[in-house]
Amino acid sequence: MEAESLEAEPLQDWQCPEGTIPIIRSPQNRPRRKTSFFSSSIQPDVDLGNNHEYAQVSLVGGNLFGASGRLNVWKPATFNGEFSITQIWVVTARGTEVINTVEAGWQTLAGTDSTRLFIFWTSDGYQRTGCYNLDCPGFVQTSHKVTLGARIEPVSRYAGNQFEISIYIHKDKKSGNWWLRMQEIDVGYWPSSIFNKLSDRADYVSWGGEIVNSGAQGHHTSTQMGSGHFAGEGYGKASYVRNLRYVDESRAIKDADPHKLVPLVSRPECYDLQMGNFNNYGTHFFYGGPGFSHRCK
């Protein structure tokens, strides 16, 4: 089986001259990021009860120096000040050490009518360091062609055209910095100096979806993940992430072996995940769900 997808693009309503970069000056209110699935991936007995829910896969262990993938783009419904995210995580969290992470993907926020490009980082497990986009010192943007926080259009339609963006995060061997490439454009880098663990290498990389469930009115949120439909509906209806790849210690880019990926689905009755079998999509999976329903309460 084969499938066909089209490119979505971060919209930029202005052109910045060489030597300058675009910055969105109106930061949006977002739910606070939290130490989440990372600790439970290492310690399976840790409770995920922090109101963040996931449907994602991880490549765990070894010396990892980057990850890439193509993210299917949708505009899931969000409510109650919550968010819905699809992204790539590059993480260091050895044993009980403090989490270091760099992240990139797309996000929808309650009260907004668009899907937006975003990045994030932290060097202390989401406590005091790190931020979205350019909201604090940290990420160094070098390209004037991409606006972090920009709207992404067009987005996919149920049983219609499917759109996606490409993301590649990798550690530069010479400088040690973590570079971000989106849509084949080198956007900028996270300096290795802002990390205490990720300055060396990553312990694992992950791909997938995340939502916040505030539990308003005493039941599960109706915030959707991905397309808002379960993985079993397949291409054109469920959301996907494809061409999962990672960078090994020789700096070779390799396809992720689906048999070595560790899945995490925190509430399968609300959001689920299953691996796909299209010939031209590399290692890939479908994921998502509607949130509150007859099976998710």
Q: Report how far residue 52's alpha carbon sits from residue 37's, in angstroms, rounded to the nearest whole number.
A: 8
Q: Report how far residue 158's alpha carbon sits from residue 96's, in angstroms, rounded to the nearest whole number.
A: 42
Catalytic, 210? Answer yes
Catalytic entry in 53, 82, 164, 210:
210
Q: Which residue has the tokens 């329903």?
A: 293
Catalytic entry in 53, 82, 103, 164:
103
Using an 8 Å Cβ cutoff, are 145 and 12 in contact? yes
Catalytic, 97? Answer no
Burial environment of residue 289 by CB neighbours within 10 A (0 to 12, 13 to 18, 19 or more): buried
Catalytic positions, please? Answer: 103, 210
